[in-house]
């Protein structure tokens, strides 16, 4: 999962301090793996260097946690590109896909489109593997089958999430 893109997406609703960003990240996406403060500040300084965020204000008292960050137009474009680009189909993608869907809902983008784009990419990969399986020997068949079963599980998750988008939007909005 791209922490940079996730933090950028969280900034779209308005400028935030570093500690506020960490809290929002942990609440929405951290689950049992909260971010370290160090990760937040190293990520923010990289985004700052790349012109994707800017410092919107500094509270008196010094220290990196006092900076308030705002997303730039280039940052918004970067989030949009990341959300619209399907992930390379591979097992255990759920955390990245989940993050993309939630961020899309938070930023009022079309989350169903993100799921469908990913679904099409998964099925494209499944077609390639099915074709390879048909032409290959038993070893090829078994290796392709392993990948196919995992991709199928992902695809079922994509379908189920698509069917639950309205409910998820309600939860995310709280």
Partner 1 sequence: MTPPPGSLLAAEELRKAYGPTVALDGAEFSIHPGEVVAVMGPSGSGKSTLLHCLAGIVPPDSGSITYNGHELAGMSDAQRSALRRSEFGFVFQFGQLVPELTCVENVALPLRLNGTSRKEAEKAALTWMERLEVDGLRKKRPGEVSGGQGQRVAVARALVTNPRVLFADEPTGALDSLNGERVMELLTDAARSTNAAVVLVTHEARVAAYSDREIVVRDGKSRDMERVV
Which one among 9, 18, 86, 89 touches partner 1, defined by CB under 8 A? 86
Rounded-to-integer distance, Cα 70 and Cα 161, Å: 31
Rounded-to-integer distance, Cα 146 and Cα 120, Å: 19
And the tokens for 116? 């469908």
Minimum distance of partner 1 from residue 96's CB (angstroms): 17
Q: Across the strands, what pairs with 53?
A: 71
DSSP 29: I
Which residues, 130 to 149, sit near partner 1 by CB under 8 A? 130, 134, 148-149
Minimum distance of partner 1 from residue 128's CB (angstroms): 9
Rounded-to-integer distance, Cα 139 and Cα 68, Å: 56
Q: Is 105 in the site for partner 1 (CB under 8 A)?
A: no
Which one among 124, 146, 170, 171 touches partner 1, defined by CB under 8 A? 124
Rounded-to-integer distance, Cα 99 and Cα 67, Å: 25
Q: Is 11 in the site for partner 1 (CB under 8 A)?
A: no
Minimum distance of partner 1 from residue 123's CB (angstroms): 6
Which residues, 60 to 79, sit near partner 1 by CB under 8 A? none
């Amino acid at each position: 999962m791209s922490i940079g893109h996730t933090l950028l997406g969280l900034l779209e609703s308005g400028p935030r301090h570093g500690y506020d960003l960490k809290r929002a990240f942990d609440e929405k996406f951290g689950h049992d793996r909260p971010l370290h403060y160090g990760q937040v500040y190293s990520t923010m300084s990289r985004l700052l260097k790349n012109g994707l965020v800017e410092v919107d204000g500094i509270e008196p008292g010094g220290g990196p946690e006092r900076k308030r960050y705002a997303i730039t137009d280039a940052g918004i474009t970067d989030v949009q590109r990341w959300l619209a680009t399907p992930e390379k189909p591979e097992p255990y993608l759920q955390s990245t896909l989940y993050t993309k869907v939630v961020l899309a809902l938070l930023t009022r983008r079309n989350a169903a489109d993100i799921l469908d784009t990913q679904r099409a990419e998964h099925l494209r990969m499944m077609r390639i593997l099915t074709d390879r399986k048909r032409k290959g020997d038993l070893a090829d068949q078994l290796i392709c089958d392993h990948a196919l079963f995992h991709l199928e599980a992902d695809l079922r998750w994509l379908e189920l999430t698509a069917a639950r988008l309205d409910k998820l939007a309600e939860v995310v909005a709280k």
